[in-house]
Amino acid sequence: MPNYIGFIRATKDSHEHLGPDEAQRVLENYMAWADERTKEGRFVSGGGLSKRGRVLRGSGGEVGATDGPHTEATEIVGGYQVIEAADLDQAEKIFATHPHLEFGPIEVRKIGERGCED
C-alpha cells in the first residue's frame, strides 16, 4: 500500500494563544490520532520539526544558505505524519480527522512518486 505524507503547517503564532494545560491537551490529541492510525496499521512515522533550520539555494554553481525555513513563508511546516492509504482520496479522509486542522492546514502528498500524478 502506498505511503502518504501530511505536512502539518501553521502560522508562526497559531498555537501561542494556548495556555500550558491547553497545549498539553493538543499534544495529547495529536499523539492519540497517531496511536489510532497505528492500531489500524496505517501509521508509518511522524514527528515535529525544529523551528530553526537553513534554506539552501543553488545559483551558477554556488550554494547559498539563509536561516529558515520561514524566511519567505507565512506558514511553516511544523511536523509531519506518514500513513499508508490505498489512494489520495483515502489519505485525505484519514488526515481530515487530524486534530491539527483546528490550527492550520495539512498538505497531503504521495511519497515516492515524481511528477503530477496522484
| Structural domain contains residue 116 | no
pLDDT higher than 90, residue 44: yes
What is the domain range of residue 106?
Answer: 3-110
Residues with Cβ within 8 Å of residue 21, at least 6 apart in sequence:
none
**What pTM does this model have?**
0.80
Read off the CATH number of the domain in which 45 is found: 3.30.70.1060
Check whether 73 has a pLDDT greater than 70.
no
Output the CA angle 106-111-113, nearest 5 degrees: 125
Q: How many domains, the chain?
A: 1
In a domain, 117, yes or no: no
| Structural domain contains residue 115 | no
Answer whether residue 101 is part of any domain: yes
Counting DSSP H helices and E strands in the chain, the numbers are: 2, 6
Rounded mean pLDDT of the chain? 88
Is pLDDT at 106 greater than 80 in this prediction?
Answer: yes
Lowest mean pLDDT among 46-50, 64-68, 84-88, 109-113: 64-68
Which range among 12-21, 39-48, 75-84 shows the weakest confidence by mean pLDDT? 12-21
